[in-house]
Amino acid sequence: MKIFIIGGSGLVGARLSELLQEKYSIDNLNTSNGVDITRPETLDIIKKDSEHQLVLHLAAKTDVDGCEMDKEMGENGDAWRVNVMGTENVVNACLASNKKLIYISTDFVFNGENTPESGYKEESIPDPINWYAETKFKAEEIIRNSELVFIIARIAYPYRKEFVQKKDFVRAIKDRLANNQQVLAVTDHIMTPTFIDDIAVALDKLIETDQSGIFHVTGSQSLSPYDAAILIAEKFDLNKNLISKTTRAEYFEDKAVRPLNLALNNEKIKQLGVKMKTFREGLDAIK
């Protein structure tokens, strides 16, 4: 199968491209080869194509605080232009050429309040509370309301072994501790970290079994950033005494508000036979 990947050079996309190309024919579309999702005319390569069956769409503005700064510009800001208008352009290109779309979304579409004990499920009602989340959810709505065959894969706090261009939260914490620097870690936010290699396995299964709909492609352990930092220190024999506790209100003062509890339930993907690692297991794999 031939697959177009949009946004295949970032933290997540680069690793997915690397792993999926072992089985699929992957063609990366990005600004370096003339594709800009905010300019629909550059997506003619998708519209006029008859060989590729699938588009994997990862291109997004993912800087949560940067997106919040765009909010006052509304639809003229980069967050809206890339995450919403850009996705609408990709949807239209897929419709024009009868391609299935896999859209990578986020746990941030939920508000983190009154989180179900088992974690948010795919049918839980989104309620975004910052601008990044608002734009990602709006993109989800555009896809769901289209006539496309689609998969919306929500991921959360992705991490990987190495990526020179950008540090994920695991390597950021690990490097600070290794350099004997203090780490301030939030205690009142719950996240569900996701090992990027597992995302590739899950997407392969979703493609192979011709699934459609919404899936939570997330790890199998939810915990606070503070607890995650402690586990990182323990796993890599680093100094836990460098880790200090803080709160969302303190750490994200003057920044985008973060949801309280973003525990996500991945039972739906698990029923397809996909084993998503716990955070401990992900750190084991990296080590």
**What percent of the chain shows pLDDT beyond 90?**
98
Would you say residue 178 lies in a domain?
no
Would you say residue 227 lies in a domain?
no
Number of domains in the chain: 1
Strand partners, 153: 104, 215
Distance separating alpha carbons of residues 51 and 65, to the nearest angstrom: 39
Q: What is the span of the domain harbouring residue 51?
A: 2-160+194-219+263-276
Q: Find the CATH number of the domain harbouring 65.
A: 3.40.50.720
Answer whether residue 172 shows pLDDT above 90.
yes
Put simply, whether the predicted model's pTM sits higher than 0.85 gets the answer yes
Would you say residue 233 lies in a domain?
no
Report residue 49 as tokens. 């194509």
Q: What is the CA radius of gyration of the chain?
A: 19
Give residue 32's pLDDT band: very low, low, confident or very high (50, 70, 90): confident
Would you say residue 35 lies in a domain?
yes
Angle CA(149)–CA(6)–CA(82) in degrees, nearest 5? 95
Handedness of CA 17, 204, 5, 106 (dihedral sign): negative
Note the pLDDT of residue 237. 98
Summary mean pLDDT of the chain: 97
Would you say residue 241 lies in a domain?
no
What is each CA distance from 148 to 23, 132, 190, 264, in whole angstroms? 24, 24, 33, 26
The position carrying tokens 């997106």 is 67
List pLDDT tens digits, range 88-104: 999 999 999 999 999 99
Would you say residue 127 lies in a domain?
yes
Would you say residue 281 lies in a domain?
no
239 CB burial (10 A radius; 0-12, 13-18, 19+): exposed
Answer whether residue 204 shows pLDDT above 90.
yes
Would you say residue 37 lies in a domain?
yes
List pLDDT tens digits, range 206-241: 999 999 999 999 999 999 999 999 999 999 999 999
